[in-house]
Amino acid sequence: MFTSNPFADLSASIPPIIMQAYVVIMVLLVVSGTLFDIMHKRSARYFVDNWRNSKNKAKRLVGSGEMVSIAVQTAVVDIMTSGEFCNARRRIAHLLTMYGFVIYVVTTAIMVFAHPTPAAPTPASLLILWVVGALLVCGGGYWFWFFIRVDVAAEGNSPFRFVRADLFIVALVLSTTLALVWACVQATGLTALAKVFLALYLIATTVLFGSIPWSKFSHMFFKPAAALEKRVAEANGTRSNLPAPADAPLTYGSVLRDNRHY
């Protein structure tokens, strides 16, 4: 498995152009699904309105230099290190899954387009990265699914309980798991069994990229925008998660006024 490109080996029975077309279709599904999700949930409108309201109600002006600094902080803290997670285990699992997915997708695309046949030898380092990426996804994904999920760890529900919100993580770990199993079986020369796992791998992958309007896949695009909007709002003084008395002197009258409806 570490010395053989499974997609190049597959070219003996399936033309590389078919594999490449499949990858392109998956990319188009991601783009179209995300756009549909944005229009259906009006996410773009929500962010634009929030940004406009934040700018109009700003208590202080955020300069271009500070904006660049905020963007860098968002990229480093909120995106690259998932700083929004307070739970250390959840954060580590998320980072393993995120970086594993990025490595796995990039290496898959390189192997399919740049090394589609045995005539174009695949570097061993690329093969290792592909396997490592898939293993990271499996490690982070299964750890989250069986031990960290709130409905399992805190509420005591069965780890095999499945709801629509779980569609993304389930499809993701199944896709990468089946990719590894398919590659192993194909390397052993068990052609018939390899075809079975290839079919399962393609089904799981198609569900992963084709179910964006119903899964949490598009959240990976929304979260950076939401994190940036939150940091800008905090910088210009328009966002505060504290109750009103925390921004002003606390008086007995204000306490009674704030609690008159309770």
Smallest CA-to-CA distance from 34 within 187, 225, 202, 246 is with: 225
In a domain, 187, yes or no: yes
Region of 126 please: left (phi>0), alpha (psi -120 to 50) or beta: alpha
Considering its fold, how many domains does the chain have in total?
1
What's the pLDDT score for residue 41?
67
What's the pLDDT score for residue 74?
76
What's the pLDDT score for residue 36?
81
What's the pLDDT score for residue 198?
95
Please say whether the beta carbons of 154 and 115 come within 8 A: no
For 226, the domain range is: 6-258
Average pLDDT, 10 consecutive residues per value, the chain (262 residues): 82 92 94 80 67 70 77 76 75 90 95 90 92 95 82 60 77 95 90 93 94 73 71 71 45 40 38
Residue 139 to residue 248: CA distance in whole angstroms: 48
Residue 75 to residue 72: CA distance in whole angstroms: 5
What's the pLDDT score for residue 217?
66
Please say whether the beta carbons of 193 and 185 come within 8 A: yes
In a domain, 66, yes or no: yes
In a domain, 53, yes or no: yes
Residue 10 to residue 194: CA distance in whole angstroms: 10
In a domain, 1, yes or no: no
Can you read off the two tokens belonging to residue 180? 């590894």
In a domain, 159, yes or no: yes
In a domain, 136, yes or no: yes
pTM score, whole prediction: 0.75
